[in-house]
Amino acid sequence: MSTLLVTGGAGFVGSALVRQLIDETDSTVINVDSLTYAGSLESLADARHHPRHIFERVDVCNRRELDRLFRDHRPDAVVHLAAETHVDRSIAEPSPFIGTNVIGTSNILDAARAYWNDLESEARQTFRVLHVSTDEVYGDLGPEDPPFNEDTACAPNSPYAASKAAADHLVRAWHRTYGLPVLITRSCNNYGPWQVAEKLIPLMICNAVGGRPLPVYGTGGNIREWIHVDDHSRALRRVLEAGVPGRVYNIAGQAELTNLEVVKAICAILDGIAPRAAGSYAELVRFVSDRPGHDRRYAVDDGRIRSELGWQRQERFDETLAKTVRWYVDHPEWLQRVVAFTIARCAGE
């Protein structure tokens, strides 16, 4: 596929995918992002100025501009990553999540369908729309429950998860009703460099380095499965290359940990590479009131993507978490963005 249109390509997962596509393929990438607080052109690194990278500052809620993008760039496929993603924000203010995640996805589907309908036979047959979703649409699991599979019914528990589930249903309907060749992926929690400030791992690193408390919801016993963003990006590329239109593919990291275990692991790494003057970083942990409706556990079965498409994760959590912590310590300018974000949130901006 010579030309890919990637929405949300200046976000955390999107920028990792764009960097891979520029570094490892010959594809031209049309990077579509509205550059909200979660998007940064810095995260594109060397890909930002590459001749095969074309940036378009467009909001997916602007249907007219989406039509122009398809008309001007003639993509062979779409990877739809643009989304509002943070649960706490969705609880405080759900409306932007409905706008971007539901209306924006509807616009992408309609613009893609209009474009696809006018393609010649061969291009029409190979065209794809990959919608990137989340394991949170499935709801949560008990401690002994088996992981979610692709046939598990959606049962979202937060406004964010509900907006993503709604988008998933739209994608499925556009395939069933109009025949649009769509694919859906549902990944577990991502980590790695360039992640937005409010997410668990960069926030904990930033607070620890700054000597500030490390806030952990409840008792810290909520369990998440983790995958490195580069593994997730490789999975997206594999699904786009060989996935069966209409199917859902779960993407797992095979690393289930409680939030407290993740925070303590970060502290242990920091103790080794940037020790405090006195004591361990773990002494900064503070338990705070739990999030409303906090999901207990996420885990997904990725048997389909492994057996059908031959994808395998390459990154081990313990090794790449250490590299991730080191990256943030070595990039104080990005940590300053986290500090600025934290101050703004505390001021109610």
Name the active-site residue from 56, 59, 76, 136.
136
Active site residue 281: no
Name the active-site residue from 76, 135, 168, 302.
135
The CA angle 98-102-105, to the nearest 5 degrees, is 145
The CA angle 162-293-87, to the nearest 5 degrees, is 55
- Residues 134 and 5: their CA atoms lie apart, in Å, by 20
Token pair, residue 301, equals 């079965």
- Residues 32 and 82: their CA atoms lie apart, in Å, by 8
- For 205-218, give the DSSP string: HHHHHTT--EEEET
Q: Strand (E) positions, 155-195?
A: 182-187, 189-191
Active site residue 160: yes
Name the active-site residue from 33, 138, 140, 160.
160
Query: Phi-psi category of 74—alpha, beta or left, where left has phi over 0 and alpha has psi -120 to 50?
Result: left
Instruction: Provide the Cα torsion 232, 34, 198, 12; round to 10°.
Output: 20
325 membership: H or E segment, kind and range: helix 317-330
Q: Which residues does the annotation mark as catalytic?
A: 135-136, 160
